[in-house]
Chain A
């Protein structure tokens, strides 16, 4: 997410407001802010600030700290402050400024320069504040609330704005008004900017408001706000109620961004401060990446120039030339008959109890059967016995929740584990405990001599001692998955590291809440050949952890899963890029602090990256596009799930560069049009899977018009939901091959 404005506001005369300030949804005014550059915000984004009818004049708060003169800095602050559209989207509630028209503020602030005064809702006067010093009460600072009913108040500044032309107005508008909502029983959100320098906030707020209003008013591009119309026709109280109703749910939503911010301030010390401030980082990007970025930006700029952009409102609407095919067959998938294999599997699953023996059935088919049985909850101990019969080599159970402890003990006691290579018992918490291990899995040291891959996710009763027993029975372990084993502590990992230092290749400790990353660090460093490390969900993973670990082991790492490690910043990515030259797969989902700088590092550092997974990150369209231009050729799997800013630039780069892309996830990327999607799908000839959950903007034009016969589009029409979660057939290890001694 972009940096919240609040951090960049220069403090200016804080006093009077500070006393009251209540910082809540930070940057409420910022929410309304938009970058001047990216004005192509969809109409839906900006509900015009609502005017709360004239509030009873009793509102004491209308104090406008009037320091108009100091507003001068506003311009400067603008850039830093403006944020991308996204927060606006989320903060629709904020944006709807409830204004209280106060008579005082309404003082005729009109500057002659403007094209008159636009009367916005509830007949408020919108005036353009020209130069500073226009000072009237209206350029207020953020206002502190008036009366609250136990909820935080939002005081929005809405300025009198006129309908400026966007292109000029952004920075100039200074008029602001403070409004507060008086309605009882409704929460009032206090604009956080109150805390910070008022100037900045005011200006920003005003600008954003102006912009909002401008957008609102600019009917050529945006739909007139319904509220607008409605408002004029309703009474004031009605308006209050309506806006309250509409915004209540938005207020209820607590953005993680705020949370992050709050936590940020308290935990700053664990982060490695980046050596250069972010703005400067752009120039410091390695050459190729910044070149790529420039190209991308120029591409847009040139296009706009060519268009003779009169419409300053529609920035960067690149045109994608893609024409859907006409008269093509409708649904590719319908024509393919289910394979005989699938049909037989289904029959088997239905009649699983009648199966007498699984001898001679190859492991791959056994796994498929288990998978389907577990999914349909038909798995039972009879079948489990069949699986364990003979001397099984691979056992993969993706769900052991049905297994009771007794059954587990019985089945495993008589199982011959001499040849067992892969043992996967996911979600085995219910059946696996320390005391059952000695009779089942950990019968004796070396009772599992061939075991290469062990997965015991969700074993919440497994303690360090239990794991130690297991490890002593399986000295050849190469891959260990202990996700969600909440009882394990760093000593367990220490045990692992000590016994398996030279053999362990893959370690997954996702969501092991009792493991502290920094304490585990020394053990991790002992693992000489570690290729895959997953620490997803571990909150204690910080930049310093990444730095220390990768400096020691980075060159062997092939896959890093850092999803949900929200404390990480760009400096971690820098280190990853510098040390992990062999990195093939990276998952940095939900790390909201990462900025475009990370992409710069990645593009220059990890040249063999084949799989990149993003989720809810705050990267910009340009950065992703530039990265694709540079590294797109090698990429096989890309997930841009909910990376909201993905847009046409990315689409173009994907189409041009991603020849080898097999799987693409563009769920919730709402800025992509049918044309963009069509272009991507028709150009990425290796594409087989395309996930489009939440992309309601995609229509049949794309679905029936694209010409890629092999791609499977998941998530739009009613497709069987779980089918897209396919477990690929896996060998024991992901990146290396196991030299199998016995077979």
Chain B
């Protein structure tokens, strides 16, 4: 049931996250990858927990840009790692 407008993100521990393409486009890097690699991107350095949070962020950012401005909560324990991932993702 793989629809065409989704992207699959695979974490280091091989958890797969399927998200909409729109959400993935929030990150230019992923958007670019997805184009090339048939909609599947692997992130060997990013763990599942972090990747999950990143996906949540994508959806939140989509919502934000459509007008609904809410707050995005991040558990402090995750933050350090979380901080390093987007550094790489948003290039």
Contacts and interface: CB of A to CB of B under 8 A. Distances in A.
B87 A347 contact: no
Interface string A361-389: 11011000000000000000000000000
B18 to A, nearest CB: 19
A362 B79 contact: no
Nearest to A334: B69
18 contacts: A340-B54, A340-B57, A340-B89, A341-B83, A341-B86, A343-B72, A344-B74, A344-B80, A344-B86, A347-B79, A348-B76, A348-B80, A348-B83, A351-B76, A361-B80, A361-B83, A361-B84, A365-B83
Interface stretch (B5-13, B32-40, B59-67): B59-67
Contact of A344 (B61, B64, B82): B82
Contact of A354 (B57, B72, B76): B76
B79 A348 contact: yes
Interface in A502-534: none
Nearest to A344: B83
Contacts of B4: none
A503 to B, nearest CB: 33
B76 A336 contact: no
B3 interface: no
Given A344-B74, A347-B74, A339 B86 contact: yes
Given A344-B79, A350-B76, 13 more contacts: A335-B65, A337-B60, A341-B90, A343-B57, A343-B72, A344-B83, A344-B86, A345-B83, A347-B74, A347-B79, A348-B80, A351-B79, A361-B84
A365 to B, nearest CB: 6
Interface-central residue, B60, B64, B83, B87, by most chain A CB under 10 Å? B83
Contacts of B76: 347-348, 350-351, 354
B50 to A, nearest CB: 10
Given A337-B61, A344-B74, A347-B74, A355 B86 contact: no
A341 B72 CA distance: 12
B39 to A, nearest CB: 22
Contact of A337 (B64, B82, B83): B64
Interface residues of B, number: 19
Interface of B: 54, 57, 60-61, 64-65, 72, 74, 76, 79-80, 82-87, 89-90
A341 B83 CA distance: 5
Nearest to B89: A340
Interface residues of A, number: 20
A280 interface: no
A350 B83 CA distance: 14
A360 interface: yes
Contact of A341 (B65, B80, B87): B87
Interface of A: 335-337, 339-341, 343-345, 347-348, 350-351, 354-355, 360-362, 364-365
A171 to B, nearest CB: 63
Contacts of B83: 341, 344-345, 348, 361, 365
Contacts of B89: 340
Contacts of A343: 57, 72, 74
A341 B90 CA distance: 9
Contacts of B72: 343
Given A347-B76, A351-B76, A365 B87 contact: yes
Nearest to B62: A337
Contact of B84 (A336, A350, A354, A362): A362
Nearest to B26: A337
Contacts of A344: 74, 79-80, 82-83, 86
A-B pairs, 10 with minimum CB distance = A337-B64, A344-B83, A340-B86, A337-B61, A341-B86, A351-B76, A347-B79, A344-B79, A344-B82, A340-B57
A336 B26 CA distance: 10
A322 B42 CA distance: 49
A355 B80 contact: yes
Contacts of B85: 340
B9 to A, nearest CB: 14
A199 to B, nearest CB: 70
